[in-house]
Chains A and B, each alone.
Chain A
Amino acid sequence: MKTVPLKLVTIVAEAVLEDRLVRDLEAAGARGYTVSTARGRGSRGVRASDWEGGNVRIEVLVTDAVSDEVLHLLAERYFPHYAVVAWVERVEVVRGNKYV
């Protein structure tokens, strides 16, 4: 099976941010994304919308360049004030060309 190496960026953030994050991800060049509902605890503890839906967990398959762009915008627009965690890993994607 031919696969393409790509970056998988996983972002966990407070749920009120979902719409904005998704818009920013698409602007940064992501061709798609997957969102699921999550809850959690971090160093920050307090969440704005405590009883408003917890966290979202967003996954985006992107090229290295877009991955950098995404991390950059997280650092600039979200990390200073919001409860956001993000990590990156290298994965092999089937039909990977459609994300480039």
Chain B
Amino acid sequence: MLNTLNVVRLLPELILLVTALVVIFVDLYARRRTALWLLPGVSIAGLVLAFVAAFAQWGAQEVVAGTLAADSFAFYFKLVAAVTVVLVILASVRYMRERTRFLGEFYAFLLVATLAVFVAVSATDLITVYLGLETLSIVSYVLTGFLRDDKRSNEAAIKYFLYGAVASAIMLYGFSLLYGLTGTTDLAEIARRLQAGDVLANLEWVAWPAVILAAVGFAFKASLVPFHQWAPDAYEGAPTPVTMFLSTVSKATGFAVMARVFLTAMPSLGEYWMALLYGLAILTMTVGNLIALRQTSVKRMLAYSSIAHAGFILMGLVAVTAPAGGHPFNGLDGVLMYVVAYAFTNAGAFAVVAAVEDGTGDATLDNFAGLIARAPFLAAAMLIFLLSLAGVPPLAGFAAKLFVFAPVVRQEYYALAVVALVNAVVAAGYYLKVVKQMFFVEVPERPAFAVARGMRWALWLMIIGVFGVGIFMNWFAFMSVRSAAGMLGL
């Protein structure tokens, strides 16, 4: 069996694993001053290598060892994850240095979390799906509670852990029913068995429990309402770089897995899960936005806003169709577009929050007052990210919204489109509140503060990303259409 294993396909994962171990050893043997730059340096180098390894295989289409897919869909998410984690690491250099002694472990955990993402997004077997998601979750609990002497970090981790453990148990029960009905854990095989005669007769009774129970697990990872309660707390309490990771990469993984499981294993149950996701999408964006409106902490506001955005991403999945005649708006490519746009934008917004926390000690709305005078670069960056979040052209957020709205309209889900539109307007309202605070509230007595070098680089990269995705929309659309087609088996 082993000789059929194509190790080249696993190269990105292997590189990450080796890098994580190297980081631990560097931490063990390097002097503290060297370690401060060497640890993030090694981690970023590993991620870049993994990125290259994944990019080189773009366009492949095969199954590795029976449980992992090496297809464009997986590689797309791997690329996004690698880039985002590089940004997270850049943003965390100073933030973490001042808060914990265990830097080597921190970077190693980030790398292992990325490894888990890589496994989860390419999983084609219920076993790897579960294991990938759960590895990501468990490592995320540790990352969230990394500042163990900080009550808020610990509390965030515990809430995350308790919700996560329950959600994964529920998801597993759903998986076990699917396994019982079809007698296999392979996603493609499940799809085949679900259409067999003896299974069809039972389908109506197992479909709902299996879909709902499995969806709970994915919805938890993607922080969809009503499985979102952990998210604001975890996002607020976690070290802000970790929040960057959770709100972008971890969430994107939830969507990737959800898309793959639903589309490859249960295409015949489409009406069930699409109806479910339809409801979840409306609920998620509305509840997220309404609560975000009355937040006083920017970090928490962004947390709720990121829940609301999950609702938007879900729209793409609801409207998934086979791309007729190479038509770009098939829904799934909207999800992919949104994920990459959102990764830059939201990671950027949280990075600014981290920088403000570093400079002023906290991230309430009040701390942002008059930011333009104290840290003009941060204020400008935040403005760009907020505009992108609101969906203003020519920024990334606009491209993303375009690609999820279009298929929804094409499918004639007008109610969903209207709700989403109203929500987008509401969201713009509270983004502007922050803008107003930064630019038009003057607080003369507050001192200016500098931004750490790594953070500045990260912010520049993310600004470039936000503009890039918005301006070179066509290229990203091409990429996402291709990878969506790769997974839809076209």
A, B in one complex: no
